[in-house]
Amino acid sequence: MFKALLPLIALPLCTTAFGATFDVDTTNDTADDDPNDGFCLDSSGDCSLRAAVEQANASAGADTIQLSNEHYTVLSSMSITDDLTVVGILKNTTIVDAAGNDRVFDIPGTTATSVRLEKMTIQGGSANYGGGIRVRGSANLDLVRVRLYDNYVIASGAGVHFHADTLYIYRSDIEENVAEGSGGGIFVSGTLQMGQTTVANNVALSGGGGMYVFAYDASSWIRRSTLSGNTAVNNGGGIVATGTYLVPWEIRNTTISGNYAFGEGGGISSSNTDLTLLNTTTDGNWALSGVGMDLNINSGATVYVGDSFIGHSGRPSSTCDGTLNSLGHNIIVDGPSCTIVGGVNDLLLAPNQYAHLEDLAENGGWTSTHALTQGSAVDGADPTRCLGSDQRGEPRPAGACDIGAFEMQ
């Protein structure tokens, strides 16, 4: 009798013209008692995260799940098959944890699906692909103020494995994930748009310690972000940038620092891609092979660099390997393995010369940066190409702006 009255006295569902809203009120990982009845209720009359996902999958329209400041442990992967937004309270206080049981979320994309995850930590996932999140097919995923932490995969994409349409990441942290294959933090085969995000301390036992990006089209970009402390046993400690269509995409107002590769390209390893770096700082990256400490440009890659630091203070070897197409106004630690084409107003430093950068630190904004000291970078960028703001969001004065991701105020 009591259970029959639950739909009348509990309020786990709010229906609108745009879909349903489910308020999760338990941390237990329990299934919905009847996924087709429109009410998020398990056998105890509670609304769990899993029950809410099951109801959202069965409910027409774009639904919303609201989480609290709680630690939700899930025993197996949760599959999202319809348009859905899942919202927590704060990135570090709402935690969805697979505790090594399985991946956390799976988005198969068998039909067109758009998913937004916001204000939560996704951690403890373990799978072949996509320990935190796996996305396939006709799907788009937005990650907004999300922390992907301590996920593991046997293959690729420990934090996220994305083989779908568009992955949008904003003000998020991707850290301490491990892939036995490629893409310690994320593996992307599709369109990537990432802003104000930190990718740090991830490991890949193959390529792309922080990220492995197979860009599909010219709408891909990384902006106002930091890749630091990532490790690849193969190439691309910070990022592997690749593709097959040679579509142009860009990294701008971004810092790539302190990454390590046992192979080539401590910071960036590029192949079969058309990549532009603008107002980007690469510093302190290391390749054990000695090839392309900060930037490795392989056969088939076209890389353009403007208003950027490509180098490391005081390192006794070349920072670049391959052919770099300079758009001018760069500071580059030069060496015999780096062929620079163009280069109007470039400053070429010999190994061991100082590049006037402070250590990586929190200097304001959402991500860490290398502050400038007085030197050639100040007001050294192309005055016709000054971006509106630097990586931190601080304004760049029109007609007199600085080289790299940091604008000295």
Determine the Cα angle at 310 with ends 180 and 321, to 5°.
Answer: 65
> What local confidence, expressed as pLDDT, does residue 353 receive?
67
pLDDT tens digits, one per residue of 72-102: 999 999 999 999 999 999 999 999 999 999 9
pLDDT > 90? residue 33? yes
Measured distance CA(304)–CA(319) in Å, rounded: 15
> What local confidence, expressed as pLDDT, does residue 316 receive?
55
Q: Residue 195: phi, psi to the nearest 5?
A: -135, 145
> What is the DSSP annotation of 128-188?
SS-SSEEEESSEEEEEEEEEEES-EESSS-SSEEEEEEEEEEES-EEES-EESSS-SSEEE
CB 269 within 8 A of CB 241: yes
> CA nearest 116: which of 86, 90, 94?
86
Measured distance CA(405)–CA(409) in Å, rounded: 13
> What local confidence, expressed as pLDDT, does residue 351 receive?
67
Distance of CA 221 to the CA centre of its chain: 11
Q: Which two tokens stand for residue 306?
A: 């403007």
Distance of CA 239 to the CA centre of its chain: 10
Give the containing element (helix H, strand E) for 91.
none
Q: Which two tokens stand for residue 381?
A: 């960028």
pLDDT > 70? residue 408? yes
Measured distance CA(400)–CA(382) in Å, rounded: 8
Residue with tokens 């580059």, as numbered in its chain: 332
> What local confidence, expressed as pLDDT, does residue 2 receive?
31
pLDDT tens digits, one per residue of 336-375: 678 999 989 998 887 666 668 899 999 999 999 999 987 7
Q: Where are the domains of the chain?
A: 1-66, 69-372
Give the containing element (helix H, strand E) for 334.
none
pLDDT > 90? residue 317? no
How, if at all, do strands 203-204 and 231-232 pair?
parallel
pLDDT tens digits, one per residue of 111-133: 999 999 999 999 999 999 999 99
Instruction: Of 161-165, 189-193, 205-209, 370-374, give the lowest mean pLDDT range.
Output: 370-374
CB 232 within 8 A of CB 184: yes
Residue with tokens 């620092």, as numbered in its chain: 257
